[in-house]
A = this chain, B = another copy of it.
């Protein structure tokens, strides 16, 4: 209480936050400047361009939100949805469930498409739901389910939704920069992500992009968005650049330094190289863990390379192992959530955590504990 906090350095191989790159920590420690300073406005412009490159989109309405990924999820629904609108939410884990809860709270008419935890969203089920609900306005799905380590086929699912003239919302909090995401080519209307996964920045802010169709939907609303803080029409006026800029809130200046540096590093490496790095590191980890006799939960066809769900062996107390890894090796891995609680570990290889030294540490430490 009465002394400064000195965290023990850890190696972060859970479901996030992942290891933050020293360049990002260094960027965030630079002196704070004003959020109306011309230099900060220049930074905001650069961030928007870097975000478009990373999301693979030309969307004008592309900006960070001053709150974590769950606020970006809420912003997606809060801006597009009006009470009574029909929304299909594809659920195959915790974050699909959270999307459904958002729709319920906002008075949307909810239709769910449910798949087993550990499997991707089934395109045929979505197709049937769309056929049965022709007046659907929005289809929402999770690209990379952080609770299960599954990657769903966003391209196919969005193509189906578009055949029925729906808007699409895609959660790619764990996906962005870890696996391919092509916002424009895949017809994603709203995509969002977070900083604390494959971008190697601390948690706290999120990234969101709206297509022209999504922006038009916001402009055509009957009633204003209930949330003043998440109203994208107000937010965009703040992010418009010098001259046109309208005060909304005070941007988290230092977090924006970190986001800029993190996005810059992805571009320096190359986005496709970043995807490949995650695949390579996954292959290496998978080989090691298989060597230890551990099994993966998710089929290799739809496995997220950056988030590995491993079955806890029979007779092993999963919490004790995690505790020992943290205590003896300063290594964090994640527990299972929901249906997977007590049954799996979640081993993250996201962003700066996806390194050979981490893989070696994790392998040896797990060997020591098992």
Contact = CB atoms under 8 A, between A and B. Distances in A.
Interface string A254-268: 110100110010010
A360 B213 CA distance: 53
Nearest to A13: B34
Contacts of A253: 17, 202-204
A321 interface: no
Given A20-B32, A202-B255, A250-B203, A5 B261 contact: yes
Contacts of A78: 227
Interface of A is mostly: loop
A196 interface: yes
A176 B105 CA distance: 33
A202 B32 CA distance: 7
Contacts of A6: 30
A23 B6 CA distance: 12
B50 A254 contact: no
Interface in A27-79: 27-40, 43, 46, 49-50, 66-71, 74, 78
A29 B205 CA distance: 16
A204 B74 contact: no
A254 B70 contact: no
Nearest to A10: B33
30 contacts: A1-B46, A7-B30, A7-B33, A7-B37, A7-B257, A8-B39, A9-B31, A9-B33, A10-B37, A17-B34, A17-B253, A26-B29, A32-B202, A32-B203, A33-B332, A66-B67, A66-B68, A66-B71, A74-B229, A78-B227, A101-B228, A102-B228, A105-B225, A106-B226, A194-B250, A203-B253, A204-B204, A204-B254, A205-B252, A227-B227
Given A68-B252, A202-B254, A25 B29 contact: yes
A37 B255 contact: no
Contact of A332 (B7, B34, B196, B250): B34
Number of identical monomers bound together in the oligomeric complex? 2
A125 interface: no
Contacts of A98: 228
B23 A257 contact: no
Interface string A84-109: 00000000000000100110011000
A248 interface: yes
A31 B20 contact: yes
Contacts of A302: none
Contacts of A36: 14
A5 B28 CA distance: 10
Contact of A28 (B28, B46, B194): B28
Contacts of A49: 1
